[in-house]
Amino acid sequence: MESLKISWLPFARKLKTKKLFRSVSTDLDLKRSFGNCVKGYSDMQGKIKVALELSRKRQYKRINELGQLIKLAYSCENGLPSNSPTSGITETMLLTSQTAVYVNQFLITYFG
């Protein structure tokens, strides 16, 4: 559960950052890419919220959508240019997503 709590805060901060970049971008393609990231990050937050509730109930085996976090993070990263000022943020979210998945797998094994 702690890993999910830890995951929640960065997602919230990164979502705000992506929204800011989307709103100030003048390049239409970049604006669209940031818009896709904002949608992806919003989806990620919803999945983490559901996983957090299941984790509080110790229903680790029912947490089955964390893998989607990795897919959504890659989707955002692949849509942005490699020199994007937010590429580091996206990489951080990818690592955070992977950590949440691995911790949940450990909990299933340990508490299964």
CATH number at residue 29: 1.20.140.40
> What confidence score (pLDDT) does residue 98 get?
86
Closest CA to 9 of 35, 38, 40, 45: 45
H or E element: which one contains 34? Answer: helix 28-56
The count of C-alpha atoms lying within 13 angstroms of the C-alpha of 8, restricted to the half-sphere facing its C-beta, is 13
Total domain count for the chain? 1
Query: Would you say residue 96 has pLDDT above 70?
Result: yes
Domain containing 79: what range?
Answer: 2-111
Lowest mean pLDDT among 12-16, 21-25, 61-65, 73-77: 12-16
> Predicted confidence band at 12 (pLDDT cuts at 50, 70, 90)?
low
Between residues 22 and 97, the one the model is more confident about: 97
